[in-house]
Amino acid sequence: MTRPPVRSGSRGLMLTLACWALAPANAFAEDEAGQTQATRSAWQIEKCEVYETALAEILDHVGRDGVSPLFLARNAEFIESGCLADIDACPQTDKDVEIANGLTIATMNAGAASSFSPFRCRS
């Protein structure tokens, strides 16, 4: 990536910093063009693998008691879709919320946006 030119004055510096802040986001957006499992980018595959591994590790740690079957099923559907499907995995129990929090942190630590996770309660 080419560094943007530094302009004099505080306004120029702010513009330069803004360009640098936006550049990585634009690079990821271009990399995430895949809409199907067959066309997923390496980054999309990696995020999904992180999510799947984190879910297994969290369930091993906290157990399945108190986790709603629908929450587990929706997470499995999300993973089976290659983490591409518009799934509503709505946490219903305290354990569901604990797992959702852990998964959000794990994926964000890996560089994914918090909106990557399927945690929505639309109905």
pLDDT for position 33: 53
Mean pLDDT (the chain, rounded): 80
Question: Could you read off the pLDDT of 104-116 as tens digits, one per residue?
Answer: 999 999 999 888 9
CA nearest 63: which of 90, 89, 93?
A: 93
Question: Could you read off the pLDDT of 60-94 as tens digits, one per residue?
Answer: 999 999 999 999 999 999 999 999 999 999 999 99
Question: Could you read off the pLDDT of 40-69 as tens digits, one per residue?
Answer: 899 999 999 999 999 999 999 999 999 999
Nearest 5°: phi and psi at 102?
-65, -40
pTM over cut 0.75: no
Helix axes 42-62, 9-31, angle to 10 degrees: 80
What tokens does 121 get? Answer: 């309660």
